[in-house]
Amino acid sequence: MEYMIGSHNSWSFLPVRKWWLKPFAFMAKCQNKNIFKQLSVYNVKCFDLRARFNKKGEIVISHGFMEYKYSKEELFRDLTLLNNNECLLRILHEVRIKKQYTRESIEKFIALCEEIQTKFP
């Protein structure tokens, strides 16, 4: 039987975006290696991306209430690496507060998924 190694909350190695969440970062940190190391050193082939959108409509990588510093360009650089190595990506709309789960956030998430699927088949 062949197994595929995956990482949970794959981008949770990143620094947090909001200073006041730093004392709680350890509770949301599932990974301590970047995407390249997860792939090349630990042979991870299945990655878990959790995302939502800020008030400006920009993608924010998150885990629960924790938000991480990373731009869309940096994320897409990682996704290019994963695509070139035939990895799998699981992407979730990480919305924990009902009022944030809006038609607009759903449409942005669908658009993001379609963009990722088109750029990284």
Cβ-proximal residues to 61 (8 Å cutoff; 6+ apart), any chain: 11, 14, 49, 50, 51, 67, 68, 70, 75
Average pLDDT, the chain: 93
Rounded average pLDDT over 7-17: 96
Q: What is the pLDDT of residue 3?
A: 74
Rounded average pLDDT over 6-30: 94
Q: What is the pLDDT of residue 47?
A: 98
- Asked if pLDDT for residue 1 goes beyond 80, the answer is no
**Residue 17 pLDDT grade (very low, low, confident, very high; cuts 50, 70, 90):** very high
**pLDDT tens across 58-117, in order?**
999 999 889 999 999 999 999 999 999 999 999 999 997 787 788 999 999 999 999 999
Say how far apart CA 109 and CA 106 lie, in whole Å.
Answer: 5
